[in-house]
Amino acid sequence: MDRHIIDYHLDAKSDWVAVLECGHFQHVRHDPPWINRPWVATPEGRASMLGQVLACRKCDDNAPLDRKR
Ligand SMILES: [Zn+2]
């Protein structure tokens, strides 16, 4: 299910987590060469991705919300 990114936060390991409109969280790590999301490393890059969509697997699985809307 495609969901818009509405916010971000850092987890306990300083990895970036996107907050999706559905109330689920999703890690958006930049961990080259396997995971390349250079945009997540800068405030400008993160801002540019606000409102973009990520495929939310938790929605597909009807997972409980990570955060209430
Ligand atoms: Zn979701």
CA distance 62 to 51: 22
- At residue 51, the pLDDT reads 96
17 Cα–ligand 1 center, Å: 13
49 Cα–ligand 1 center, Å: 17
13 Cα–ligand 1 center, Å: 22
- What does the pLDDT average to over 44-53? 97
- At residue 68, the pLDDT reads 56
For the record, the structure tokens of 34 come out as: 């396997």
pLDDT higher than threshold 90 for residue 65:
yes
- Specify the DSSP element, H or E, that contains 57: helix 57-60
For the record, the structure tokens of 29 come out as: 């790590």
